[in-house]
A and B are shown apart, each in its own frame.
Chain A
């Protein structure tokens, strides 16, 4: 074996090792994050954390019940904003949209998807907080809902397009009109996919902090209705993590664990459902 060949073989093996190392390094970050959160969060999570209100500053104990409920409220309303618009637009793109119109709307959706979340926050501030003159659950939900739209549109369109054409043709051959075919055959066939897409969009916005800072704001008590500022898990994590108190830091870890668990359960769950569906249809 010549020297040159040796060198080539060596480079080959070396680069193999290097890329394998990169892959391991990338994935290990995930486990480092999980490890720290489970360790620090698990230590500090307890029943009163989940069920009690925050105590006044300096007083130990208390929890983040208001933030957990607040996040749920924000997400529920965001769902009402994002899903009808997102799914309908997805249906339009997959079933009706012509070439030019389809391209234009798809392009705009992608543009909206790329807008940084803090800019979405400014947008919600200018159209809802400024006219109403106060922070509200409504404004926060609007921001999150707008963020959900492009993700939902894309997944809905994708899953509708995956529905085989013979299904559509069969329904139409039986005399069903196009809209009836879509409503009773195509959408149900893509149903689990569309729902998974919505769940993933929800998991994505559940962790968003930046658009809530000046829309939903935060507080330390229960807020009723949709018109008041409301606490949420991500904003509480932020506030507590940069705060100066050790017991705040402990609670920030616990809240982080709750949030991450929520996001991961939804992600893993929907992906498993989708994977099974794909293997069945094969």
Chain B
């Protein structure tokens, strides 16, 4: 403080205000450059991440090429690495998650933005945020000890006796498997769908609702025919965001999917996912090719989430701007 007072005094007395201005400027320039360096560091870290994934997977990429994605033999001892069972597991579990989470999340978001009082809506949104903050290993813990036994003894027998004619619900019931992983993922991504969808629904201009109501629509008709279509792109964005989360989710899936690199039509069967195989085998990977194949799986995961996140952001942004443009 003293130093600065001194500086200002001296500057006031100075005969060369231009030099003082210059010093001031250079102080600003230094601050600018320092913060810019940190910002550049963030870019650098991200670039290094991509570079490392690319470089460390070179062995596997050169040896297998695109075959990596279409072969299903994963035999570290024989040096055979095919990613198909993991891709399959990741896609199937994410699909189950979305099928369950989208209606639930959208319903919740509609209730919070359209039907409930603002105060109740805020409290619910806070609770949903808390649900999003629950660490994935805790979901896994409940998955192993609560959900899997429940699936094995109650849900899967019920599904088999009612929908057992579908190949999806045939075969032995272990509890762990695609269904368990999909269900736990659904619970984990619902908060993301709710919080983003609620936001874009709230951003829909009031006139949209009022115009529909004035034409004699019921509240639900106003919501479904005027509000939701207006927010459609944003809602789709939230689903992409949720999908990106589901694809990359590791711990909870690893704990309940069964960790068996097989491709089965039955949802009751144990499977494997990209993230789970990395988590399980990375520390045990002996040999450079094995490690490189696992890093390539990481690269695939990175690419998938990169594309999905980019699309999601674009969609959410478009809706927000549309909403803002109308106000």
Interface residues of A (CB under 8 A from B): 8-9, 11-12, 15-16, 18-23, 25-27, 29-30, 32-33, 36-37, 40, 84-85, 88-89, 91-93, 95-97, 101, 104-105, 108-112, 114-123, 125-127, 146, 149-150, 153, 175, 177-180, 182-183, 203-204, 206-210, 213-214, 217, 234, 237-238, 241-242, 249, 252-253, 256, 259-260, 263-264, 267-268, 271
10 more contacts with CB within 8 A, not counting A238-B137, A242-B144, are A11-B218, A16-B115, A22-B111, A110-B313, A118-B278, A119-B301, A126-B53, A204-B133, A207-B137, A209-B251
CA distance A266 to B52 in the complex (A): 34
Give CA–CA (A179, B25) in the complex, Å. Answer: 9
B255 pairs with A242, CB closer than 8 A: yes
Q: Which among A95, A105, A253 has the greatest number of chain B C-beta atoms within 10 A?
A: A105
Contact of B298 among A118, A153, A267 (CB under 8 A): A118
Asked whether A241 lies within 8 Å of B52 as measured between CB atoms, the reply is: no
B210 part of interface (Cβ distance < 8 Å): no
Q: What's the least CB distance linking B88 to chain A, in Å?
A: 18
| Contacting pair A260 B134 (CB below 8 A) | yes
Contacting residues, chain A, for B249 (C-beta < 8 A): 116
In the complex the two chains form, what is the Cα distance from A15 to B220 in whole Å? 7
Is B220 within 8 A of A11, CB to CB? Answer: yes
Q: Whole-angstrom distance from the CB of B223 to the nearest CB of chain A? A: 8
CB pair A91 B138 closer than 8 Å: no
Residues of A with C-beta under 8 A to B8: 175
CB contact between A203 and one of B28, B133, B221 (< 8 Å): that residue: B133
| Pairs of residues from A and B, 10 with the lowest C-beta to C-beta distance, nearest first | A207-B135, A116-B248, A22-B107, A179-B31, A88-B38, A92-B35, A114-B309, A19-B111, A12-B218, A210-B250
Q: Mark B101-123, 1 if CB is under 8 A from A, else 0.
A: 00111111011101110000000
Tell me the residues in window 271-327 of chain B with beta carbons closer than 8 Å to chain A beta carbons: 275, 278-279, 282-283, 294-295, 298, 301-302, 305-306, 308-310, 313
Q: How far is the CB of B128 from chain A (nearest CB, A)?
A: 6
What's the nearest-Cβ distance from chain B to residue A52, in Å?
21
Main secondary structure of the interface of A (DSSP, over half): helix
Who on chain A is nearest to B37 by CB? A88
Query: Is B42 a contact partner of A108 (Cβ separation < 8 A)?
Result: yes
Q: Whole-angstrom distance between the alpha carbons of A30 and B138 in the complex?
A: 12
Which of the candidate stretches B43-51, B66-74, B164-172 sits at the interface with the other chain? B43-51
List the A side residues contacting B32 at CB < 8 Å: 92, 96, 179
Q: Is A30 within 8 A of B137, CB to CB?
A: no
Q: What are the residues of chain A within 8 A of B108 when measuring CB–CB?
A: 19, 22-23, 25-26
The answer to whether A179 and B221 have CB atoms under 8 Å apart is no
**Complex Cα–Cα for A122 and B130 (A):** 28
A267-B129 contact in complex given A112-B42, A118-B275, A127-B48, C-beta closer than 8 Å: yes
Contact B248 A119 (CB under 8 A): yes
Q: How far is the CB of B25 from chain A (nearest CB, A)?
A: 8
Bound-state Cα–Cα, A238 to B107, Å:
33
What A residues does B305 contact at CB under 8 A?
A: 114-116
Would you call B283 and A217 a contact (CB within 8 A)?
Answer: yes
CB distance from A148 to the nearest CB of B (A): 11
CB distance from B106 to the nearest CB of A (A): 8
Structural contact, B298 and A26, CB atoms closer than 8 A: no
Residues 1 to 53 of chain B near chain A (Cβ within 8 Å): 4, 8, 24-25, 27-28, 30-32, 34-36, 38-39, 41-43, 45-46, 48-49, 52-53
B142 within 8 A of A: yes
Contact A177 B24 (CB under 8 A): yes
Contact check: which of B25, B104, B144 meets A26 at CB < 8 Å?
Answer: B104
Which of these, A85, A111, A210, A256, contacts B306 with CB under 8 Å?
A: A111
B28 touching A122, Cβ below 8 Å = no
